[in-house]
Structure 1
Amino acid sequence: MNGSATTAAVAAPDAGAAPDAGPAPAARRPGISFEDVTVAYRDQVVLNGFTLDVAAGEVVALLGPSGSGKTTALRTVAGFTAPVRGRVGIGGRDVTGLPPHRRGIGMVVQQYALFPHLRVEQNVAFGLKAHRTPRAQVPGRVAEALEMTGMAGYARRYPRELSGGQQQRVALARALAIRPEVLLLDEPLSALDAGLRAGMLAELARLHRELPEVSILYVTHDQIEALTLADRIAVLRDARLVDCGTPERLYRRPADAFTASFVGRANLLPVTAGQEPDRVVLGAATHRTGAVELRITAQDGFPAGSPALLCVRPHQLRPATEGGPNLLRGRVSDVQWLGSTHRVQVDLDAGPRVAAELSGLRVPPAAGEELALGFDPEDGVLLPAEGAS
């Protein structure tokens, strides 16, 4: 067996923008709730004061670097890890003290956990039999789950006769066969190549539409997966939840430099807040061209003269001419062709190196060439300087 079958299908039950994300939308019944959950192994805290609500039918991605607490949060919902403080709820009921088989959860892990000696249909039926589904119902439930995941034509095959993507679909079918309230996905696509991963992302998005009441908690380190699939993204760092919101909000208006750099690529330019709330100053007299004043959308909370970071996404930078908004001059240090775009690294005269993703270039700039870039004022987002309270 390629892993532990107990983590692949757990039995059905008997018969936002603040750091703690706030409650799920009031109009939707509860799906998953964490209330001040803390998990520790010996003296090391691996999840610290975690509070998050996931509504029924909502997909929330847990995103963060290795060791940030993502999988610990998932295992706490599943019942495989017990918190030292706080409560976990599913469907509005406190399940903190319940064993895994009474929580109404389906779980898919990256190792698939399929029995190699059982056919596909037998693997899918395993979870149903484990929690004593009436024998007469098993064939229909297996067929339903295989049809839902596009694997109906492979019921008689063995796992060794399937591709990695097909094995992952079988693992998903096994989790769905028990008709869970909650579906937990622990980096389920990390073992797949890029093409298979894109296909499975599309399948998961389709399943989300077809299962409107199932809450999905999705652990990933892949930003594209999170941005593509999730209704909201919860960003973790050092065992804490540091930001939570819709993918668009986190991308366009991140709360801090960590979220900005972890949810998509970001240029973070050290600036000084200007005398007006829609002005910032980049660079100083020590730079090649001295200080440069830039215009942004007016933002409160940054007193004149205070340090800050200006976030501009690489795709928001474009070649500029004299007289355009927010002119940034520099010298090209590197050019990479990415197929549809060129990724151009530019050492700014008035600041650090920035990356620009430029499309439609017939002749890209060469290393060493001078280049001017610009961005629209509404694309510049001011963030607290690193280390600022």
Structure 2
Amino acid sequence: MSGSGIRFDRVSVAYDGNTVLHALDLTVEPGEVMALLGPSGSGKTTALRAVAGFVRPASGRVFIGGTDVTGLPPHRRGIGMVVQQYALFPHLRVKDNVAFGLRAQKAAKAEIPGRVAEALEMTGMGAYAERYPRELSGGQQQRVAIARALAIRPGVLLLDEPLSALDAQLRSGMLAELARLHRELPDVSILYVTHDQVEALTLADRIAVMDRARLQDCGTPQELYRTPRTEFTASFVGNANLLPVTAGAGAALLGGAELKVDTGGVAPGATATLCVRPHLVGLGDGPNALTGRVSEVQWRGATHRLYVDVAGERIKADVRELRTPPGIGDQVTVHFAPEDAVLLTAAVSEGAAASRRAGVAADG
């Protein structure tokens, strides 16, 4: 079969009575990169394996390119897959590793050399066709694994933590390569499993945030980063200050300080959480100024991370590198702009994911 796009129709998976994926409703559009982001045990890899056909849902259906593939074996789903440990055959040369899927699909022998060369050139590995995996670096082996997945010209590409075994420098380079491949393969749907927020923010058109076997939220990287709707999303997609406050009339109360924020119709007196990103917190006087004492200072190269204790809460501020940073115990003032803060309520935290899931399901 062939086709692009993935749809989970209330897919649940259970092992020995333990639900590891609960009623997942999610659509990956043709040509879209969807990242499944979440901690270990959140259900993201199980969701990918359900698409691949390696696990059978206890309930619900999986569609690829509009076709119900729930009952099809993996080799009939027309997908390419890359896993974190490469899974290359050590006794086969690079060209034969890449050809493996084509031979398994019984592609015409005359077509195989050209398809292999095409996939290797696409991943920058054309000069390594005659080498064995042991003669390659980790990054090169991962490129070969991607070439093998692309050689079958899949409509859907599944990537399961593909960069986790690489060091930081190689990971950065491979992120750029994957972004380039996405541009060159505009019709291929990509489902990308990761626990690394940088990978998700860099590559994905949309991010599905998962926790405890459930889809918690879904949106574009910009939506989830700039205007998170749940505390879990705010803390897992990027770094955030999450401060318990009481809503006022167009303001939030933290200790004795009144902070001007968009309350979004939150009733005065309601308890809420104020979310503001550390890089949006400035040092010195400004709007929404708060005075506290420095409890920790971390040098991070281009920035200093300051931890400032205010009204019993710790606020993180990432400020440009300071020639003379404040010391521990020093009194400082930090501030942030009203438009840079988001107010989260308990009702939003519980209901936002459901409303967004309904929208995602409707799109499908």
Where on the TM-score scale, by shorter chain, does this alignment land: which range? over 0.9
Selected match of 2:31 from 53, 57, 65: 57
Paired with 2:312 and 2:329, the residues of 1 have a C-alpha distance of 17
Give 1:30 deviation, angstroms. 6.0
Identical columns (%): 68
Give 1:255 deviation, angstroms. 1.2
Indicate the residue corresponding to 2:282 in structure 1: 318
Paired with 1:268 and 1:90, the residues of 2 have a C-alpha distance of 39
Contact kept? 2:263, 2:343, Cα under 8 Å: no
Return the letter of the residue paired with 2:301.
G
Give 1:384 deviation, angstroms. 1.7
1:138-287 equivalences under 5 Å are 138-274=112-248, 276=249, 278-283=250-255
Selected match of 2:41 from 53, 56, 67: 67
Paired with 1:192 and 1:64, the residues of 2 have a C-alpha distance of 19
Return the letter of the residue paired with 1:219.
V
Does residue 114 of the first structure (1) align with residue 84 of the second (2)? no
Paired with 1:53 and 1:97, the residues of 2 have a C-alpha distance of 19
Return the letter of the residue paired with 1:379.
D
> In structure 2, the residue corresponding to 1:197 is in which secondary structure?
helix
Indicate the residue corresponding to 1:346 in structure 2: 308
Does residue 77 of the first structure (1) align with residue 51 of the second (2)? yes
Does residue 336 of the first structure (1) align with residue 298 of the second (2)? yes
Give 1:310 deviation, angstroms. 0.1
Paired with 2:346 and 2:279, the residues of 1 have a C-alpha distance of 23
Indicate the residue corresponding to 2:258 in structure 1: 293
Contact kept? 2:80, 2:149, Cα under 8 Å: yes
Contact kept? 1:273, 1:280, Cα under 8 Å: yes
Give 1:131 deviation, angstroms. 1.0
Give 1:298 deviation, angstroms. 4.2
> In structure 1, the residue corresponding to 2:181 is in which secondary structure?
helix
Give 1:314 deviation, angstroms. 0.4
Contact kept? 1:269, 1:351, Cα under 8 Å: no
Indicate the residue corresponding to 2:360 in structure 1: none
The alignment covers a number of residue pairs equal to 350
Paired with 1:136 and 1:367, the residues of 2 have a C-alpha distance of 70
Range that drifts further, 210-219 or 29-38:
29-38
Normalized per residue, the structure richer in helix is 2
Deviations 1:327-348 (A, max 9, x none): 1111111111111111111111
Paired with 1:60 and 1:41, the residues of 2 have a C-alpha distance of 25
Per the normalisation by structure 2, the TM-score is: 0.94
Contact kept? 2:10, 2:59, Cα under 8 Å: yes
Per the normalisation by structure 1, the TM-score is: 0.88
Runs of 4+ in 1 over 3 A off after TM superposition: 385-389
> In structure 2, the residue corresponding to 1:135 is in which secondary structure?
coil
Deviations 1:145-164 (A, max 9, x none): 00000000111111011000
Task: Name structure 2 gaps, 5 residues minimum.
Answer: 351-364
Contact kept? 1:30, 1:53, Cα under 8 Å: no
Paired with 1:250 and 1:201, the residues of 2 have a C-alpha distance of 20
Task: Name structure 1 gaps, 5 residues minimum.
Answer: 1-12, 15-28, 284-290
Give 1:361 deviation, angstroms. 1.8
Return the letter of the residue paired with 1:369.
D
